[in-house]
């Protein structure tokens, strides 16, 4: 028995499923999760001392690689000044100004502690601002685990097959309309019927919780014009795509500007941080200026702000994103070539430094329905073969992959060599 297996057995005695977040439990691929002891650059090291090339990056935050020196040092310095004060601090202003400079559609921003808090409050704010109850989300998009948003959700909820969780009153869920990602006609049809009751459309501008599905041309533009026409608030949930798809997020990459943006992951440099922000007029509906309530004992925590600010400050490096895009190109093109050579039906998607791969021969994957119809047996076997060879991918077919600036050409080559072996094994199944 490996040390990870021993720890997993022990963990299950005192933690539900042995994990503090469901997708970590390997339900999507079977087997026992890997317990990590430390991480550095592109690598993670498990409890048995084995090294992995990591394409999960703590589910997105680690765009600069693990244990980045500037973030570590800024965090240490903040720790020396005290862990939390419950008062305003000047670092919160610096952080807010940094976010505004990177994402210009954000005129005001409020810091929170997770992506879930950010989206939950953005929805409340959109409802308070418009005086409407209904919200519109997309099947397979995940926006955290707030009640109103855990309806036909992606990520762990998709992997576990419980898109509608018990514990959410039907009365809450009934205000959540669910539509098909990348299908603008179905959204227009709903708005023609109910448009004056819809407070907001919330969307992952690149869907990253049903694998990686970029928007088809015209989709985000269509959402923008529908919201303008009906006076609904357009929320881009950029918890995953923010600072990731490009420096200014998906809104910069696709040049479509939302009313509100939610942020998480990269914004905290690895610390628990989220944020929501946008148009001044809407943000001023939040307490204490406005009537919509939201608060947080540890929000804007000085240590978290120091880590986040250090991470965001690194993003100005001129070659960062071009370097990331090149690495993703090399990886996904290399995977495709090797799958083709082995005769394995396979296709890939990418958006900036996010990528996805699908065991499917049905051409480009643009929908939730296609994503859920891929060959799961191939995925699971490929997953475990890669893991055995020291490549750590997301343990679910419904998660995006993330590249970091710490990955080297040699890491990509080692990953492709491992994939070549894995594809050959699939052929022999
Ligand atoms: N929105 C999106 C798009 C996400 O990917 C996630 C988490 N994966 C969340 C919201 C929720 O963030 P958190 O897990 O920090 O609550």
Beta bridge partners of 45: 38, 51
- Give DSSP secondary structure letters for 144-199: -S-GGG-SS--THHHHTT-SS-TTS-HHHHTTEEEE-TT-HHHHHHHHHHHGGGEE
> Closest ligand 1 atom to the C-alpha of 21?
14
Identify the CATH number of the domain in which residue 144 sits: 3.40.640.10
**Token pair for 265:** 């992951």
Residues 163 and 236 in one domain: yes
ipTM: 0.99
CA distance 31 to 25: 9
Task: Examine the residue annotation and report whether 98 is marked as an active-site residue of this protein.
Answer: no
- Residue 399 is part of a domain; what is its CATH number? 3.90.1150.10
CB 186 within 8 A of CB 222: no
pTM of the predicted model, to two decimals? 0.97
- Catalytic residue among 46, 183, 237, 411, which? 237
Residue 117 alpha carbon, nearest atom of ligand 1: 16
pLDDT tens by residue, 95-104: 999 999 999 9
Same domain for 350 and 310: no
Residues 130 and 248 in one domain: yes
44, 405, 208, 337 alpha-carbon torsion, rounded to 10°: -90
Of 384, 392, 381, the residue nearest 428 (C-alpha): 381
Together in a domain, 175 and 297: yes
The answer to whether residue 116 scores a pLDDT higher than 60 is yes
Tell which of 314, 342, 373 closes a domain: 314
Q: What is the DSSP letter of 408?
A: -
Mutate to test the pocket of ligand 1, among 61, 112, 142, 202 (most ligand atoms within 8 A of CB): 142
In whole angstroms, give the CA distance from residue 254 to residue 266.
19
Q: Is 265 a catalytic residue?
A: yes
CA of 172 to the centre of ligand 1 (A): 20
User: Does ligand 1 lie within 6 Å of residue 176's CB atom?
Assistant: no
**How far, in whole angstroms, is CA 384 from its chain's centroid?**
23
Q: Is 261 in the pocket of ligand 1 (CB under 6 A)?
A: no
Domain range spanning residue 380? 3-63+318-427
Q: Please report, in angstroms and rounded to a whole number, the separation of the first and last CA atoms in the chain.
A: 26
Q: 266: which DSSP letter?
A: G
- H or E stretch covering 69: helix 69-81
Q: What is the pLDDT of residues 336-348, one digit of tens each?
A: 999 999 999 999 9
Residues 295 and 237 in one domain: yes
213 and 299 housed in the same domain: yes
Question: Tens digits of per-residue pLDDT, 158-191?
Answer: 555 445 688 888 888 889 999 999 999 999 999 9
Please tell me if the CB atom of residue 156 comes closer than 6 angstroms to any atom of ligand 1. no
**276 ligand 1 Cβ < 6 A:** no
Residue-wise pLDDT for 232-279, tens only, equals 999 999 999 999 999 999 999 999 999 999 999 999 999 999 999 999
Last residue of a domain, which of 256, 281, 314?
Answer: 314
Residue at a domain's end among 263, 285, 314: 314
Same-domain status, 8 and 124: no
Residues 147, 261: one domain?
yes
Give me the pLDDT at residue 171, please: 81
> Does the C-beta of 143 come closer than 6 Å to ligand 1?
yes
Asked whether residue 201 falls in the same domain as residue 271, the answer is yes
Of 59, 29, 31, the closest CA to residue 44 belongs to 59
Best mutation site among 61, 112, 113, 143 for ligand 1 pocket (most ligand atoms within 8 Å of CB): 143
**Domain count within the chain:** 2
Closest to 260 (Cα-Cα) out of 84, 118, 413, 405: 118
From the number of C-beta atoms within 10 Å of its C-beta (0-12, 13-18, 19+), residue 429 rates as exposed
- Tokens describing residue 209: 């919780």
- In which residue are the tokens 């998660």 written? 399
Q: What percent of the chain has pLDDT over 90?
A: 92
Pocket flag, ligand 1, residue 59 (CB < 6 Å) = yes
Per-residue tokens: 89: 């601090």
Catalytic residue (one of 43, 52, 129, 142)? 142
If asked whether residues 52 and 172 sit together in one domain, one would say no
Of 265, 368, 392, 411, which is the active-site residue?
A: 265
Same domain, residue pair 54 and 129: no
Atom number of ligand 1 nearest to Cα 264: 15
Do 263 and 238 form a contact (C-beta atoms < 8 A)? Answer: yes
Compute the distance between CA of residue 247 and CA of residue 257 in angstroms, rounded to an integer.
14
Among candidate residues 42, 46, 15, 49, the one with its CA nearest the CA of residue 33: 46
Please state which of the ranges 10-19, 141-150, 213-222, 391-400 shows the lowest mean pLDDT. Answer: 141-150
306 and 322 in a single domain? The answer is no
Give me the phi and psi of 94, to 5 degrees please.
-55, -40
Q: Is 174 a catalytic residue?
A: no
């Amino acid at each position: 028995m490996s040390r990870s297996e021993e720890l997993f057995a022990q963990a299950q005695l005192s933690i539900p499923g042995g994990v503090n977040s469901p997708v970590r439990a390997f339900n999507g691929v079977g087997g026992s999760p890997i317990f990590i002891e430390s991480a550095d650059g592109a690598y993670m090291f498990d409890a048995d001392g084995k090294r992995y090339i990591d394409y999960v990056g703590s589910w997105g935050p680690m765009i600069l690689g693990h244990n980045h020196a500037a973030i570590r040092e800024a965090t240490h310095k903040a720790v020396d000044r005290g862990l939390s004060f419950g008062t305003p601090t000047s670092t919160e202003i610096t952080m807010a100004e940094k976010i505004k400079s990177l994402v210009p559609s954000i005129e005001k921003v409020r810091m929170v502690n997770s992506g879930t808090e950010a989206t939950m409050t953005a929805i409340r704010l959109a409802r308070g601002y418009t005086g409407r109850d209904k919200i519109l989300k997309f099947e397979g998009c995940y926006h955290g685990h707030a009640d109103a948003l855990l309806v036909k959700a992606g990520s762990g909820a998709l992997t576990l097959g419980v898109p509608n969780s018990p514990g959410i009153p039907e009365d809450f869920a009934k205000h959540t309309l669910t539509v098909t990602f990348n299908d603008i006609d179905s959204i227009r049809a709903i708005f023609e019927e109910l448009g004056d009751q819809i407070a907001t459309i919330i969307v992952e501008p690149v869907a990253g919780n049903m694998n990686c599905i970029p928007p088809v041309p015209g989709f985000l533009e269509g959402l923008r014009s529908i919201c303008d026409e009906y006076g609904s608030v357009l929320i881009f949930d950029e918890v995953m795509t923010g600072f990731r798809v490009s420096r200014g997020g998906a809104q910069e990459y696709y040049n479509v500007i939302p009313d509100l943006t939610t942020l998480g992951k990269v914004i905290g440099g690895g610390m628990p941080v989220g944020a929501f922000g946008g148009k001044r007029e809407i943000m001023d509906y939040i307490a204490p200026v406005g009537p919509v309530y939201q608060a947080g004992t540890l929000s804007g925590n000085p240590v978290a702000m120091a880590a986040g600010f250090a991470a965001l400050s690194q993003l100005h490096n001129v070659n960062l994103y071009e370097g990331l895009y090149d690495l993703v190109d090399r990886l996904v093109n290399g995977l495709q070539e090797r799958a083709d050579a082995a005769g394995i039906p396979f296709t890939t998607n990418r958006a900036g430094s996010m990528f996805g791969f699908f065991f499917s021969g049905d051409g480009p994957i643009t929908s939730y329905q296609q994503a859920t119809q891929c060959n799961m047996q191939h995925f699971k076997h490929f997953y475990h073969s890669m893991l055995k060879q020291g490549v750590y991918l997301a343990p679910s077919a419904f998660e995006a992959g993330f590249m970091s600036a710490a990955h080297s050409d040699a890491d990509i080559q080692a990953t492709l060599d491992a994939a070549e072996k894995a594809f050959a094994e699939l052929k022999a199944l």
